[in-house]
Amino acid sequence: GAALAGGGRLTRAQCLATLAAAGLDMSGQRGYHLLWYASQRGVTCIAPHVGTEQTFALLDEWAPEPRRPERDEALGLLALRYFRSHGPTTRQDFAGWTGLTATDARRGIAVAGDDLATVEVDGVPAVLDAALLDAPRTGRDEVLALPGFDEYLLGYKDRTLMLDPAHRQAVVPGGNGVFQSTMVRGGRVVGTWKRTIGRARVTVTVRQLTPFDDSMRGRVETALTRYADFLGHAIECKW
């Protein structure tokens, strides 16, 4: 905190050097866990990169007047924002994603009140933002290229709405928690992709989990081109 005071910003390497200079052992994973701990305790926050390097700043300086809701209000806000971004899904998924107890998860949904609604999905009660009940149904066949740790899959315990159980091993090989980047069509995972970034070109290898016809391949390439454009690179797709 002292090293960052006064609007300072340090890269990860500089933070580790500062801790080492104070006599702390940075070997193994200690440095990583100390940086993590400082952010979890509200001392630091992640600031914009310098080039490719992650940086840290003091949270109190970057957010000097935080809103601090009372406990019930906080539970209601958390419930509303989770189900607005992830719904329709279950109370159990909400509890699992937040780490809340079942009692607090129920309380949060109750506090959110009429802003949330309950529907049935495959016979299971699921909660969603009430505004979605009257929303137009758009993007039903959209093709998206998503990163490996996207909340579209990570935000849930039960992923059967998005992922065929037969394809689970391809997306999470070995069940070790490392998710592959996915191709999603109409809300369902239909493939995975890996990229190799060169100096001026990104090469993407696509694995089809369902058969792609020529039209679908074109749509996949279009989705991946958005990623290449973000990098400022040309793209080459391999199948």
pLDDT digits (tens, 9 = 90+) for 43-102: 999 999 988 899 999 999 999 998 999 999 999 999 999 999 999 999 999 999 999 999
According to the model, what pLDDT value does residue 52 have?
A: 86
Together in a domain, 52 and 96: no
Mean pLDDT of 225-234: 94
Together in a domain, 16 and 43: yes
SS3 percent helix, strand, coil of the chain, rounded to 5, is: 40, 25, 35
Together in a domain, 51 and 75: no
Tell me which residue of 116, 111, 173, 121 sits closest to 148, measured CA to CA.
173
> Last residue of some domain: 134, 151, 186?
134
Give the count of domains, the chain.
3
**Mean pLDDT, the chain, integer:** 94
Instruction: Tell whether 89 is covered by a domain.
Output: yes
> Last residue of some domain: 106, 134, 162?
134
Neighbours of 101 (CB within 10 A): 10
Neighbours of 69 (CB within 10 A): 11
pLDDT digits (tens, 9 = 90+) for 152-204: 998 888 888 899 999 999 999 988 889 999 999 999 999 999 999 999 999 99
Instruction: Tell whether 101 is covered by a domain.
Output: yes
Q: What is the CATH number of the domain that holds 129?
A: 1.10.10.10
According to the model, what pLDDT value does residue 217 have?
A: 96
Instruction: Tell whether 5 is covered by a domain.
Output: no
Domain hosting residue 170, numbered range: 143-238
Tell me which residue of 63, 91, 71 sits closest to 79, measured CA to CA.
91
Instruction: Tell whether 58 is covered by a domain.
Output: yes
Instruction: Tell whether 148 is covered by a domain.
Output: yes
